[in-house]
């Protein structure tokens, strides 16, 4: 399971579209050594083909990720956006999602992918977790909430 690391918590990320979000958030993973230089382009390509946006009760999110071959160290980068960015919905690409929170996953082992996805998804079925994520304004607050709920 990927751990939550303070250097992978971002707030007020400015982006005009999903590709810019993925590139900015992915750069944080790359700059900290979690992913290879192929990761960002691979995530952008995967997102175009297999969208990860979700409309949940109280929040719209996206969970971009790609194959483990692009990952050095498993991790989850949590980014709160300055303003919503449109992603396509995971189950219906024609439906648009105004994501305000990004959980970009760097999953090395495909066997762990399901566990990581389930752990992150578990947060979104928890109304208290959603409320705390929405309320978090600073990097420290978001880090604290992410650490509390993503295990």
Q: Where are the domains of the chain?
A: 3-149
Please give the Cα distance from 121 to 97 (Å, whole number). 16
The candidate with the shortest Cα–Cα distance to 151, out of 110, 121, 109, is 121
Considering the entire predicted model, what is its pTM?
A: 0.91
As assigned by CATH, the class of the 3-149 domain is alpha beta
pLDDT per position as a tens digit, 31-47: 999 999 999 999 999 99
Stretch 61-82: mean pLDDT: 94
| Confidence check: pLDDT of 87 > 90 | yes
pLDDT per position as a tens digit, 70-80: 999 989 999 99
Phi, psi of 57 (to 5 degrees): -70, 100
Secondary structure (DSSP) of 47-72? HHHS--EEEETTEEEE--B--GGGBS
């Amino acid at each position: 399971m990927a751990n939550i690391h303070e250097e992978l918590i971002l707030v007020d990320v400015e982006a005009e579209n999903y590709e810019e979000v993925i590139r900015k958030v992915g750069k944080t993973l790359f700059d900290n050594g979690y992913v290879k230089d192929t990761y960002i382009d691979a995530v952008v390509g995967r997102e175009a083909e297999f969208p990860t946006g979700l409309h949940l009760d109280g929040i719209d999110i996206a969970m971009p990720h790609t194959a483990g071959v692009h990952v050095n160290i498993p991790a989850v980068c949590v980014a709160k956006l300055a303003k919503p960015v449109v992603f396509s919905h995971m189950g219906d690409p024609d439906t648009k999602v105004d994501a305000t929170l990004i959980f970009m996953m760097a999953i090395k082992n495909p066997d762990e992918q399901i566990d990581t996805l389930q752990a992150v998804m578990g947060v979104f079925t928890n109304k208290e977790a959603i409320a705390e994520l929405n309320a978090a304004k600073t990097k420290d607050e978001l880090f604290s909430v992410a650490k509390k709920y993503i295990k």
